[in-house]
Amino acid sequence: MCLSTVYKNKMEADSVVMKNVMRIECKDGCVILTDLMERSVAIEGTLESANLVDGYVIVKETL
């Protein structure tokens, strides 16, 4: 199972949006994250990069 930590704009400890993310959807200008407990968070922006081997994703927030 590949779970990821999602960061907003840059990979730093204070930029963590959600941990243990199992699903990522991009819809209508939003990135929708869902974790193992089925909690969801939506961020206005785009998927910038994803490294599933190392378990991280970076979302570029729209300002």
pLDDT of 28-49, one tens digit each?
A: 999 999 999 999 999 999 999 9
Identity of the amino acid at 17: V
**Dihedral Cα 24, 26, 28, 30, nearest 10 deg:** 60
| CA angle centred on 35, ends 58 and 60, rounded to 5° | 20
Which of 2 and 36 is assigned the larger pLDDT?
36
Number of structural domains found in the chain: 1
Query: Other C-beta atoms within 10 Å of 49: how many?
Result: 11
Query: Other C-beta atoms within 10 Å of 19: how many?
Result: 12
Q: What is the pTM of this model?
A: 0.93
The domain containing residue 36 runs over which residues? 4-61
CA dist 37 and 63 (Å) reads: 29
